[in-house]
């Protein structure tokens, strides 16, 4: 890609409207035969992208798929990933500094988007319009406008888009969904969850490669202008590049990094995915007084039109969790006892409301309780959620079915966490006007 074209691209991408319209022609997808191999390109091969690409390599050995291209703005990451796939999977992999060269390849069937958040929608939409299916890491995108654009792009192109919150492929959510649908908790009242960690160095303070930068050559080169993607024309800042989750321009901190892993599976548990009606949030940067803009302690409360609430709490400066559960008038389902929504759990727990269902013989018989109404443990399949999530995406590429975390379900989670970030930054309660798909300051008219 010439320097003139690169500058022209960055200029045109300065507004999100232009960025989301990178391609206008919808390219038909390739039909896969039973023995056809799916070729995958990975865009963004930092720590997460490397892990996801490796998982695709492992699952691809069974599902007839392989990674054939990797892309990053940091040359060292490209070299490392090319070597890894060649050594581990015996596959020749091409490397690129410009994602558009990956998307332009006609032999690539799908792309993994594992860049910082502010690039997710732009790359995913361009890839879909170029005829690729997309595995997009969480969060799905960065703004409410991008949520709408991604929904529209999936509808327009009829591509498969799987959002990479792998915990949604864990069995506990589907077991909980069945219990709720069967009436085990009665009228749903509230869902709650938490994410608590306590890093001595401060969350997201990942190592910085001091030798790397835009003025370096060889594998130390970073294409900083491309990485910024029109967010600003700031001089290179290593902390922003290597620790992007600390900054609002590229991330939403805990909300987008971790709460997405809570909000997405909750939307699977409920009868149907739902957009919040009202969102408020709070917290602050109480401990880690470094360059970060995002808070180390963050909470949200959301209310839904179907008369239930969500309460999520977190701190990156204290590791004691609150169990993840859903409360109803007649019972409670605990899906996550240990506080980490990404970890497997051996069972979920149904706790009946004894005063309410104690004399309800039909309820006791239906859910297998005796008169003691002791908590009931429901066994959970211990399948690995990450490999299951990737396998589901590859299978859906062949069948053209909706994946586990499709764009509509992910959109409901994304609107919640994006509104929570906006509420925190603006210091006010916000409402979602679902009809017009926008955030407003006052309750929208029915």
Count of domains forming the chain: 2
Is 401 a domain residue? no
Whole-number Å distance between alpha carbons of 197 and 342: 13
User: CATH code at 197?
Assistant: 3.30.360.10
With respect to residue 60, please indicate whether it lies within any of the assigned structural domains: yes
Which CATH number belongs to the domain containing residue 18 in this structure? 3.40.50.720
Residues 197 and 155 in one domain: no
Same domain, 119 and 176: no
Q: What is the rounded distance in angstroms from the CA atom of residue 70 to the CA atom of residue 76?
A: 12
Reply yes or no on whether the pLDDT at 219 is more than 80: yes
Same domain, 179 and 153: no
Query: Is residue 445 in some structural domain?
Result: no
In a domain, 395, yes or no: no
**What's the token pair of residue 180?**
């709720």
Last residue of a domain, one of 159, 192, 211: 159
Q: Taking the CA of residue 47 as centre, how many other CA atoms within 13 Å lie in the half-sphere pointing to its CB?
A: 8
What share of the chain has pLDDT > 70, as a percent? 92
With cut-offs at 50, 70 and 90, classify the pLDDT of residue 4: very low
At 343 the pLDDT is 67
What pLDDT does 2 receive?
Answer: 36
Instruction: Please indicate, yes or no, whether residues 122 and 19 belong to a single structural domain of this protein.
Output: yes
Lowest mean pLDDT among 215-219, 269-273, 329-333, 335-339: 335-339
Note whether 152 and 290 are same-domain residues: no
pLDDT tens readout for residues 358-395: 999 999 999 999 999 999 999 999 999 999 999 999 99
Considering the domain architecture, whether residues 187 and 105 belong to the same structural domain is answered as no
Q: Which residue, among 179, 197, 189, 191, has the nearest Cα to 375 in the 3D structure?
A: 179
Whether 114 and 192 share a structural domain: no
pTM of this structure: 0.93
Are 257 and 376 members of one domain?
yes
Tell me the residue range of the domain where 68 lies.
3-159
342, 198: one domain: yes
Cα 410–73–8 angle (5° rounding)?
A: 90
Answer whether 161's CB lies under 8 Å from 403's CB.
yes
Task: Spell out where 17-64 has E strands.
Answer: 38-43
Residue 411 in domain = no
pLDDT at residue 1 is higher than 80:
no
Q: How many CA atoms lie within 13 A of 101 on its CB side?
A: 15
Same domain, 55 and 183: no
Is 377 contained in some domain? yes
Give the DSSP per-residue string, 253-300: THIIIIIHHHHHHHHHHSSS----SEEEEEEE--S--SS--S-SEEEE
Q: Judge whether 35 lies within some domain.
A: yes
- Residue 334 domain flag: yes
**Domain co-membership, 153 together with 273:** no
Nearest-10 Cα torsion for 196, 201, 202, 204: -100
First to last CA, the chain: 50
Say if residue 211 is exposed, middle or buried (CB neighbours under 10 Å; 0-12, 13-18, 19+): exposed
């Amino acid at each position: 890609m010439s320097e003139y074209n690169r500058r022209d691209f960055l200029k045109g991408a300065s507004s999100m409207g232009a960025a989301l319209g990178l391609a206008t022609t919808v390219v038909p997808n390739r039909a896969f035969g039973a023995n056809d191999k799916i070729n995958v390109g990975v865009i963004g091969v930092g720590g997460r992208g490397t892990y996801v690409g490796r998982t695709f390599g492992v699952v691809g050995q069974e599902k007839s798929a392989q990674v054939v291209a990797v892309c990053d703005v940091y040359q060292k990451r490209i070299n490392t990933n090319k070597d890894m796939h060649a050594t581990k999977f015996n596959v020749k992999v091409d490397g690129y500094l410009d994602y558009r060269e990956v998307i332009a390849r006609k032999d690539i069937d799908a792309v993994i988007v594992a860049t910082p958040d502010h690039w997710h929608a732009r790359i995913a939409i361009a890839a879909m319009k170029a005829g690729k299916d997309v595995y997009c890491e969480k969060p799905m995108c960065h703004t409410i406008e991008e949520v709408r654009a991604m929904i529209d792009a999936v509808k327009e192109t009829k591509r498969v888009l799987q959002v990479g919150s792998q915990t949604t492929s864990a069995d506990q959510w589907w077991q909980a969904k069945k219990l709720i649908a069967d009436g085990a908790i009665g009228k749903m009242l509230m869902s709650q969850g938490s994410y608590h960690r306590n890093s001595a160095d401060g969350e997201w303070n990942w190592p910085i490669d001091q030798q790397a930068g835009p003025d370096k050559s060889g594998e130390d080169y970073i294409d900083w202008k491309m990485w910024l993607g029109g967010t600003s024309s700031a001089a290179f800042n290593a902390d922003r590049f290597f620790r992007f989750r600390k900054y609002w321009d590229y991330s939403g901190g805990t909300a987008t990094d971790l709460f997405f892993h809570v909000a997405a599976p909750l939307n699977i548990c409920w009868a149907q995915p739902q957009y919040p009606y009202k969102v408020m949030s709070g917290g602050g940067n109480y401990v880690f007084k470094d360059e970060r803009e995002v808070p180390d302690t963050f909470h949200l409360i959301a209310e839904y039109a179907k008369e239930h609430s969500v309460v999520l709490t977190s701190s990156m400066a204290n590791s004691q969790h609150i169990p993840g559960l859903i409360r109803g008038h007649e019972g409670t389902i605990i899906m996550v006892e240990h506080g980490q929504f990404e970890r497997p759990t051996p069972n979920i727990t149904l706790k009946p409301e004894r005063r309410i269902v104690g004399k309800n013989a039909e309820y006791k018989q239906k859910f297998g309780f005796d008169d003691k109404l002791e908590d009931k443990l429901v066994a959970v399949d211990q399948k690995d959620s990450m490999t299951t999530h990737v396998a589901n995406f590859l299978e859906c590429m062949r069948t053209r079915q909706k994946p586990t975390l499709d764009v509509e379900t992910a959109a409901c989670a994304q609107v919640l966490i994006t509104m929570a970030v906006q509420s925190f930054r603006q210091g006010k309660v916000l409402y979602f006007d679902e009809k017009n798909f926008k955030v407003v300051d006052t309750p929208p008219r029915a």
